[in-house]
Amino acid sequence: MSVVERREFVMARDMEYGYNPSIGLNGLPVEVTNRLRLRVIGGHQLAKKDIFGASDPYVRIDLNTVNGDETVDSVLTKTKKKTLNPTWNEEFIFRVKPTDHKLVLQVFDENRLTRDDFLGMVELTLINLPKEVEGRTIQTKQYILRPRSARSRVKGYLELYHAYIRDEGQR
């Protein structure tokens, strides 16, 4: 992904990304959707892709349809310079239809002059994720990075927090 393409993504902390449900005549959504909090905590033991033995990693988060892999929305974390163990601690809120959507997180090494190097991916189904409830702690999870093809050299894992949250106005 080029620097110009990267600038097209919005990186606002409190913005809601994702699916826009259809609105009925009464002004209310006609589809059931959920709000998902995704916190990209960090990467651990990522593959070395730069000549000097480090990487400049960032994560591209795509909300895709389960059938057909059509991208509904995308967002990027910030790039962390010269590290194989980046800490992002960036939070994103997505509006999703759990049975129709999935999240695909791809880790890349940013390169200024050439195409960014692929470092691995995680695919999250959105069914059976926990719900945030006052007084209950939800632990972060570590996901092993997977290759996207047989040629991909992948190493390490992503640490994520994910849970459904209440819509404004819900009790």
pLDDT tens for the chain, 171 residues long, are 444 344 343 344 458 888 877 666 666 666 778 999 999 999 999 999 877 888 999 999 999 999 877 999 999 999 999 999 999 999 999 999 999 999 999 999 999 889 999 999 999 999 999 999 988 899 999 999 999 988 888 999 999 999 999 876 454
Give every CB contact of residue 23 below 8 A, 6+ residues apart in sequence.
Answer: 29, 30
- Cα–Cα distance measured from residue 62 to residue 46, given in angstroms and rounded to the nearest whole number: 20
* CATH architecture designation of domain 3-21+31-165: Sandwich (2.60)
Burial of 4 (0-12, 13-18, 19+ CB in 10 A): exposed
pTM (two decimals): 0.85
- Cα–Cα distance measured from residue 72 to residue 33, given in angstroms and rounded to the nearest whole number: 14
- Cα–Cα distance measured from residue 6 to residue 58, given in angstroms and rounded to the nearest whole number: 11
